[in-house]
Structure 1
Amino acid sequence: MRYGVVGSGYRTEAFVRIAERMPERFTLEGVVTRTETRVDEIVEDWQVPAYTDLGTFLEHHPVDFMITSTPHAVTPSVIGDLVAREIPVLAETPPAPDVDGLRALWKNVGASGLVQVAEQYPYAPGNAARRALLETGALGDPTWAYVSSTQTYHAVALLRHLLGVEFEPARVSAQQFELPVVDPQTRAGWADDLEPQNRRTTLATLDFGGRVGVYDYTDNQVRNPIRGNRMLVRGTHGELADDQLTRLAAPKQPLRSELTRWQTGEYLSFEERDLYQIGDGERVLYRNPYFGARLSEEEIAVATLLERTGHWVRDGGEPPYPLAQAAQDQLLALAIAESARNGSVVQTEREDWAG
């Protein structure tokens, strides 16, 4: 499948790497960026065509879809331009920076059916395996989920993914705390300064009525190696704490098991290091569709999203992550921020994208 990217920031690099690693599946036709200087850098560094004008790019490069990897404030206008040209879009998160922007974007392009959003975290292998386990009914009905992993709309996407929440109104309550922590690593790389600095922790509850999500995130947690990832989902008949499953299999039969990764390239394995599958001891819950490409789990998630977008465009397949879902994620993320900022409970309602 063929795609192009509008924007050339660090998020674009993931789409470049996927095409480099698996050219038999993915072709990056080129990049549209703002300046001629950046055009020269892209051609040299990424070895793909680059342009400053979207129309010129599209004249020279047939694509199945375009990716927007642009600043938040710019993304809605780029999406609108592509939809006006009847080009399917995979927009980077979030699709709009605020609630008014979400509503305006939906009014502008929602009915087109041409916009998906690049929310990859539900497609990460571990998260996909957890969702597959929930769909077996092993926990009964999920009622409670806790995510301390990634930030804002990404974490909300995971909470909704685990709880099976769609567009239900939510009662959102959040608090923030300033607490000291060392930041050994940031986006810029490893740091020499190991003096603890105050970092903001946001703790929020999202009450969907019968199902509750808990959001817990410390600034830079996603890159801080001394802050782990934690997920907990509880149901009527059991719970999954990270990869530890406890469930009631039958009357008087509580059982414990574990989600385990089958990883090649470990001790006494002569294969290259790669993820093969994830299972729970009874069944395979996830199998890596790109086994042999040696992708990181983040790259597996991005590749899955790209491939599903291509099938959606070419074959009428299931949409990978519709604009309505991403708009709901951002709506709830903004409610968390508002509640933390004002010290109030925020009540969200059904929006037009809920249908």
Structure 2
Amino acid sequence: MKKQRFGLIGSGWRAEFYIRIAKLLPEQLELTGVVIRDSDKGAAFAKKFSVPVVQTLDELLEDRPDFVVLSINRDFVTDYLVRLFERKVPVLCETPPGKTVADLEELWESSQASGANIQVAEQYFLQPLYAAWLQVMEEGRLGEVENMSISALHGYHAVSMIRKMLNVPYERCVIQGKRFSFRVTETADRGGFVVDGEVMTRDRDRLTFEFENGKTAFFDFSGVQYHSYIRTRQLNVQGTRGEIDDLTVRYLAEDGTPVTQELQRIDLGVYNNQEWAHQGIMLGERYVYKSPFPTGRLNDDEIAIADCLVRMGHYVQTGESFYSLREALQDTYVSIKMEEALSRPNEEIIVDRMIWAE
């Protein structure tokens, strides 16, 4: 596949991922420019990251990128998307596309009216561990998956994983739950280790999703889990013939023999190896996930975002979707309903079938 050339709108923490990835994978990706409207901020950004910076969308499009990545605050997403739709520019949207259900419905109608070419950078299902878990399920080792407990992701990210793992694309469901608060010592943040011993009070959300087909998800998450060495992630998925319990996979062989295996991560650059790259994840003697960038010095989230960029290029060329606006709208809609459930403890909140699901 030819090198993918993309423009970037945004300059925040998440936008910086795209810059790093393009620099780490120069044979596959090229960043054509970054839109920053403030000229002083843009000049400082260009110097810091050694990237071309422009002030307007028109300037960005002059270099004819294959697509544009939109990575800005949710308050401004819709306006930019409509402008890109009108110009027939393919767009990979990073931020959840709207704050209210009305916003989501308006965006769907606009995309349909304009024939928009859009995908959304929901990357977690492309991260190595999540991709390995999904592969085990797709192989049928668990049988029919009927329930799961997830304590790993917040909001729409968790909804995306629940829908994929339970295979409930747009089903109606009932959500109920409650928000709790507990104290925990901070150990890390986006900048790295935190060692001052400060104890913080953090919310912990617990919700139950009961889908109309009988499948059920139990959600349990505290935001500290993203950056903590004493609050890690947990996943349990149960099917008729087996379960995934974090890194342990239990299932029945074809002859009914119970089998227990562990997922094993394979990396270069550890224990005296002088390279650094993630190779994949093995279950027993075979890979259930292989990195699409086996020589790239990328962390798991960067691998997933890079995969989104490559898949976006493939989508532009072939029309083959990997995470559509329809899916993003559904995940965002359900996450809005999650917040409603948390604001009304233990009440049943109905998730209905929306216009993009038809």
- TM-score norm. by structure 1 comes to 0.95
Alpha-carbon distance, 1:189 to partner? 4.5
Of residues 175, 178, 188, the one that matches 2:178 is 175
DSSP-derived class of the 1:94 partner: coil
Alpha-carbon distance, 1:252 to partner? 5.0
Q: Deviations over 1:50-75 (max 9, x none)?
A: 1121112212x111111111111111
1: CA distance between counterparts of 2:165 and 2:205? 20
DSSP-derived class of the 1:160 partner: helix
Q: Does 1:337 align with 2:345?
A: no
Alpha-carbon distance, 1:331 to partner? 1.0
2: CA distance between counterparts of 1:62 and 1:99? 34
CA change 1:192–1:136 in 2 (3 A) is closer
Of residues 212, 220, 234, the one that matches 2:224 is 220
Residue of structure 1 equivalent to 2:28:
25
The answer to whether the 8 Å contact 1:176/1:340 transfers is yes
Residue of structure 2 equivalent to 1:292:
295
DSSP-derived class of the 1:73 partner: helix
2: CA distance between counterparts of 1:282 and 1:158? 26
CA change 1:50–1:192 in 2 (3 A) is same
Letter in 1 for 2:224: N
Letter in 2 for 1:256: T
Residue of structure 2 equivalent to 1:96:
98
Q: Deviations over 1:127-149 (max 9, x none)?
A: 11111111111000111122211
2: CA distance between counterparts of 1:224 and 1:262? 23
The answer to whether the 8 Å contact 2:6/2:32 transfers is yes
1: CA distance between counterparts of 2:59 and 2:259? 61
- TM-score norm. by structure 2 comes to 0.94
2: CA distance between counterparts of 1:252 and 1:290? 37
Letter in 2 for 1:74: F
| 1:138-149 paired onto structure 2 within 5 Å | 138-149=141-152
| 1:4-153 paired onto structure 2 within 5 Å | 4-59=7-62, 61-110=63-112, 112-153=115-156
The answer to whether the 8 Å contact 1:278/1:286 transfers is yes
* Identity over aligned pairs, percent: 34
Of residues 274, 293, 307, the one that matches 2:277 is 274
1: CA distance between counterparts of 2:46 and 2:285? 49
CA change 1:219–1:278 in 2 (3 A) is closer
1: CA distance between counterparts of 2:172 and 2:94? 25
2: CA distance between counterparts of 1:272 and 1:109? 45
2: CA distance between counterparts of 1:22 and 1:148? 32
Residue of structure 2 equivalent to 1:231:
235
1: CA distance between counterparts of 2:168 and 2:329? 14
DSSP-derived class of the 1:11 partner: helix
**Deviates most, 78-87 or 195-204:** 195-204
Residue of structure 2 equivalent to 1:249:
253
The answer to whether the 8 Å contact 2:72/2:95 transfers is no
DSSP-derived class of the 1:259 partner: strand
CA change 1:282–1:110 in 2 (3 A) is farther
2: CA distance between counterparts of 1:106 and 1:72? 16
CA change 1:43–1:173 in 2 (3 A) is same
2: CA distance between counterparts of 1:146 and 1:37? 47
Residue of structure 2 equivalent to 1:323:
325
Q: Deviations over 1:103-137 (max 9, x none)?
A: 11111114524111110000001111111111111
Q: Deviations over 1:218-242 (max 9, x none)?
A: 1332112211011111101100011
The answer to whether the 8 Å contact 2:149/2:218 transfers is yes
1: CA distance between counterparts of 2:255 and 2:46? 64
Structure 1 spans left out of the alignment, 5+ residues? none
The answer to whether the 8 Å contact 1:146/1:159 transfers is no
The answer to whether the 8 Å contact 1:110/1:353 transfers is no
2: CA distance between counterparts of 1:250 and 1:286? 22
